[in-house]
Amino acid sequence: MMFNTTFLAAAMVAFSALTVQAHVGLSYPCGRYQPAAGCPAPPPGQSIDYDVNAPISTSDSINAPLCKHTVPYTTRTTFKAGQTIQTKYSVGASHGGGHCQWALSYDNGKSWVVVKTMIRDCLRGAQGSYSVPVQIPANAPSGKATFMWLWNNAIGNRELYSNCADIVIQGKNGGQLKGVAPLIANHGKGSPIIPEFPLTTQSDGSDLFAKRKPITITVKAT
Protein backbone atom coordinates (compact mmCIF):
# COMPACT_ATOMS: atom_id res chain seq x y z
CA MET A 1 0.00 0.00 0.00
CA MET A 2 1.36 3.45 -0.98
CA PHE A 3 0.88 6.56 1.16
CA ASN A 4 0.68 10.13 -0.07
CA THR A 5 3.32 11.74 2.13
CA THR A 6 2.27 15.28 1.17
CA PHE A 7 -1.31 14.56 2.25
CA LEU A 8 -0.09 12.93 5.46
CA ALA A 9 2.09 15.92 6.36
CA ALA A 10 -0.78 18.34 5.70
CA ALA A 11 -3.09 16.23 7.84
CA MET A 12 -0.61 16.27 10.71
CA VAL A 13 -0.32 20.06 10.55
CA ALA A 14 -4.12 20.41 10.50
CA PHE A 15 -4.45 18.04 13.44
CA SER A 16 -1.86 19.99 15.44
CA ALA A 17 -3.68 23.26 14.75
CA LEU A 18 -7.00 21.78 15.85
CA THR A 19 -5.46 20.35 19.00
CA VAL A 20 -3.90 23.66 19.99
CA GLN A 21 -7.19 25.50 19.43
CA ALA A 22 -9.16 23.19 21.72
CA HIS A 23 -10.23 24.99 24.90
CA VAL A 24 -7.93 27.91 25.92
CA GLY A 25 -4.22 28.51 26.49
CA LEU A 26 -1.86 31.39 27.34
CA SER A 27 -0.02 32.54 24.21
CA TYR A 28 1.61 35.77 25.50
CA PRO A 29 3.77 35.77 27.45
CA CYS A 30 4.51 32.36 25.98
CA GLY A 31 3.08 29.58 28.12
CA ARG A 32 5.58 26.78 28.66
CA TYR A 33 6.22 24.75 25.48
CA GLN A 34 3.61 26.77 23.58
CA PRO A 35 3.79 25.93 19.84
CA ALA A 36 2.82 29.47 18.80
CA ALA A 37 5.14 31.35 16.45
CA GLY A 38 7.76 33.39 18.27
CA CYS A 39 7.77 31.27 21.42
CA PRO A 40 11.07 29.73 22.59
CA ALA A 41 12.03 26.15 21.95
CA PRO A 42 11.32 23.85 24.91
CA PRO A 43 14.22 23.33 27.33
CA PRO A 44 16.43 20.25 26.87
CA GLY A 45 14.56 17.03 27.50
CA GLN A 46 11.12 18.61 26.94
CA SER A 47 8.84 18.73 23.89
CA ILE A 48 6.43 21.20 22.31
CA ASP A 49 2.99 20.80 23.86
CA TYR A 50 0.47 20.56 21.02
CA ASP A 51 -2.27 20.17 23.63
CA VAL A 52 -1.24 23.25 25.62
CA ASN A 53 -4.83 24.55 25.69
CA ALA A 54 -6.20 21.48 27.48
CA PRO A 55 -7.31 21.59 31.13
CA ILE A 56 -4.94 20.32 33.81
CA SER A 57 -7.70 18.76 35.90
CA THR A 58 -11.35 18.23 36.68
CA SER A 59 -13.06 18.07 40.05
CA ASP A 60 -12.50 14.28 39.92
CA SER A 61 -8.98 13.84 38.55
CA ILE A 62 -5.64 15.62 38.03
CA ASN A 63 -4.00 15.34 34.62
CA ALA A 64 -1.10 17.73 35.19
CA PRO A 65 0.34 19.95 37.94
CA LEU A 66 -0.11 23.70 38.16
CA CYS A 67 1.63 25.39 35.22
CA LYS A 68 0.99 22.13 33.29
CA HIS A 69 4.80 21.81 32.89
CA THR A 70 7.30 22.13 35.73
CA VAL A 71 10.59 22.75 33.88
CA PRO A 72 11.03 26.48 33.12
CA TYR A 73 12.01 27.89 29.76
CA THR A 74 15.69 28.77 29.44
CA THR A 75 14.63 31.96 27.58
CA ARG A 76 12.61 34.49 29.60
CA THR A 77 10.68 37.65 28.72
CA THR A 78 11.64 40.76 30.70
CA PHE A 79 9.06 43.10 32.24
CA LYS A 80 9.44 46.08 34.56
CA ALA A 81 7.74 46.37 37.95
CA GLY A 82 4.58 48.40 37.42
CA GLN A 83 4.37 47.45 33.73
CA THR A 84 1.06 46.25 32.33
CA ILE A 85 1.29 43.04 30.32
CA GLN A 86 -1.29 42.72 27.55
CA THR A 87 -1.73 38.99 28.05
CA LYS A 88 -3.09 36.99 25.10
CA TYR A 89 -4.87 33.65 24.79
CA SER A 90 -5.68 31.23 21.98
CA VAL A 91 -9.34 30.28 22.29
CA GLY A 92 -10.99 27.17 20.93
CA ALA A 93 -13.92 26.95 23.35
CA SER A 94 -14.53 29.57 26.05
CA HIS A 95 -17.16 27.51 27.92
CA GLY A 96 -19.27 30.52 28.89
CA GLY A 97 -16.36 32.42 30.41
CA GLY A 98 -15.65 31.99 34.10
CA HIS A 99 -13.15 32.97 36.78
CA CYS A 100 -9.49 33.81 36.07
CA GLN A 101 -6.56 34.47 38.37
CA TRP A 102 -3.04 35.63 37.60
CA ALA A 103 -0.22 35.09 40.08
CA LEU A 104 3.53 35.49 40.50
CA SER A 105 6.06 33.13 42.04
CA TYR A 106 9.77 33.70 42.73
CA ASP A 107 10.51 30.12 43.82
CA ASN A 108 9.40 28.17 40.71
CA GLY A 109 5.87 27.59 41.91
CA LYS A 110 6.29 26.75 45.59
CA SER A 111 4.48 29.93 46.66
CA TRP A 112 2.24 32.32 44.73
CA VAL A 113 0.80 35.80 45.13
CA VAL A 114 -2.30 36.72 43.13
CA VAL A 115 -1.89 39.96 41.16
CA LYS A 116 -5.28 40.02 39.37
CA THR A 117 -8.64 38.27 39.61
CA MET A 118 -11.64 38.31 37.25
CA ILE A 119 -14.91 36.83 38.49
CA ARG A 120 -17.47 35.45 36.00
CA ASP A 121 -16.53 37.62 33.00
CA CYS A 122 -13.11 36.21 32.09
CA LEU A 123 -13.20 34.81 28.52
CA ARG A 124 -16.95 35.40 28.25
CA GLY A 125 -17.88 35.32 24.55
CA ALA A 126 -14.22 34.98 23.48
CA GLN A 127 -13.57 33.40 20.08
CA GLY A 128 -10.23 32.76 18.39
CA SER A 129 -8.18 35.17 20.47
CA TYR A 130 -8.58 37.06 23.72
CA SER A 131 -6.56 39.64 25.63
CA VAL A 132 -6.47 40.86 29.25
CA PRO A 133 -4.24 43.58 30.73
CA VAL A 134 -2.42 42.39 33.86
CA GLN A 135 -0.17 44.75 35.80
CA ILE A 136 3.00 43.63 37.50
CA PRO A 137 2.89 45.23 40.98
CA ALA A 138 4.94 48.42 41.19
CA ASN A 139 6.74 47.09 44.29
CA ALA A 140 7.58 43.71 42.72
CA PRO A 141 11.21 42.80 43.50
CA SER A 142 13.72 42.11 40.75
CA GLY A 143 14.46 38.54 39.78
CA LYS A 144 13.44 35.49 37.82
CA ALA A 145 9.72 34.86 38.27
CA THR A 146 6.93 32.58 37.09
CA PHE A 147 3.74 34.19 35.79
CA MET A 148 0.72 31.89 36.14
CA TRP A 149 -2.76 32.04 34.63
CA LEU A 150 -5.64 30.00 36.09
CA TRP A 151 -9.15 29.61 34.71
CA ASN A 152 -12.26 27.87 36.05
CA ASN A 153 -14.83 27.63 33.26
CA ALA A 154 -18.51 28.52 33.73
CA ILE A 155 -20.11 25.83 31.54
CA GLY A 156 -19.19 22.20 30.95
CA ASN A 157 -17.05 19.75 32.89
CA ARG A 158 -15.78 21.17 36.18
CA GLU A 159 -12.26 21.95 35.00
CA LEU A 160 -9.16 23.97 35.85
CA TYR A 161 -6.85 25.41 33.21
CA SER A 162 -3.34 26.65 33.94
CA ASN A 163 -0.35 27.87 31.95
CA CYS A 164 2.84 29.54 33.15
CA ALA A 165 5.25 31.94 31.50
CA ASP A 166 8.85 32.34 32.63
CA ILE A 167 9.79 35.99 33.02
CA VAL A 168 12.34 38.35 34.53
CA ILE A 169 11.11 41.31 36.57
CA GLN A 170 13.14 44.48 36.76
CA GLY A 171 12.18 46.19 40.00
CA LYS A 172 13.70 47.04 43.32
CA ASN A 173 16.57 45.02 44.75
CA GLY A 174 14.88 42.71 47.23
CA GLY A 175 11.64 43.22 49.08
CA GLN A 176 8.26 41.70 49.72
CA LEU A 177 5.16 41.00 47.68
CA LYS A 178 1.96 40.71 49.71
CA GLY A 179 -1.46 39.49 48.70
CA VAL A 180 -3.46 36.27 48.69
CA ALA A 181 -2.63 32.77 47.52
CA PRO A 182 -4.59 31.58 44.48
CA LEU A 183 -7.72 29.47 44.81
CA ILE A 184 -7.01 26.05 43.30
CA ALA A 185 -10.50 24.72 42.58
CA ASN A 186 -11.69 21.75 40.49
CA HIS A 187 -8.22 20.24 40.81
CA GLY A 188 -8.94 16.66 41.73
CA LYS A 189 -10.83 15.06 44.58
CA GLY A 190 -10.62 16.99 47.83
CA SER A 191 -10.15 20.36 46.14
CA PRO A 192 -12.83 23.09 46.36
CA ILE A 193 -15.51 22.70 43.71
CA ILE A 194 -16.85 25.56 41.61
CA PRO A 195 -20.17 24.41 40.10
CA GLU A 196 -21.50 25.28 36.66
CA PHE A 197 -22.98 28.77 36.49
CA PRO A 198 -24.48 29.45 33.05
CA LEU A 199 -27.07 31.80 34.58
CA THR A 200 -26.37 34.96 36.57
CA THR A 201 -28.80 33.74 39.23
CA GLN A 202 -26.80 30.58 39.88
CA SER A 203 -24.16 30.15 42.56
CA ASP A 204 -20.74 30.62 40.98
CA GLY A 205 -18.39 29.77 43.83
CA SER A 206 -17.22 33.38 44.09
CA ASP A 207 -17.46 33.14 47.89
CA LEU A 208 -14.45 30.83 47.77
CA PHE A 209 -12.27 33.65 46.42
CA ALA A 210 -13.04 35.75 49.50
CA LYS A 211 -11.51 32.96 51.60
CA ARG A 212 -8.11 32.91 49.88
CA LYS A 213 -5.29 32.92 52.40
CA PRO A 214 -3.03 35.96 52.86
CA ILE A 215 0.56 35.41 51.81
CA THR A 216 3.82 37.35 51.83
CA ILE A 217 6.69 36.46 49.50
CA THR A 218 10.13 37.75 50.48
CA VAL A 219 12.90 38.13 47.90
CA LYS A 220 16.38 38.69 49.26
CA ALA A 221 18.49 41.57 47.97
CA THR A 222 21.53 40.62 45.91
pLDDT for res 22:
60
pLDDT for res 12:
37
Q: Which amino acid is at 165?
A: A
pLDDT profile of the chain (222 residues), mean per 10? 42 37 87 94 96 96 97 97 97 92 97 97 90 98 98 96 98 97 97 93 93 97 94
Provide the sign of the torsion angle of the four alpha carbons 183, 148, 154, 16, taken in this order. negative
- The three-class DSSP label of residue 1 is coil
pTM > 0.85 = yes
> Are the C-beta atoms of residues 81 and 169 closer than 8 Å to each other?
yes
Tell me the CATH number for domain 5-219.
2.70.50.70
pLDDT for res 127:
87
Rg (CA), the chain: 18
pLDDT for res 23:
87
Taking alpha carbons only, the member of 112, 135, 140 closest to residue 213 is: 112
According to DSSP, the residues that pair with 166 across neighbouring strands are: 146
pLDDT for res 64:
97
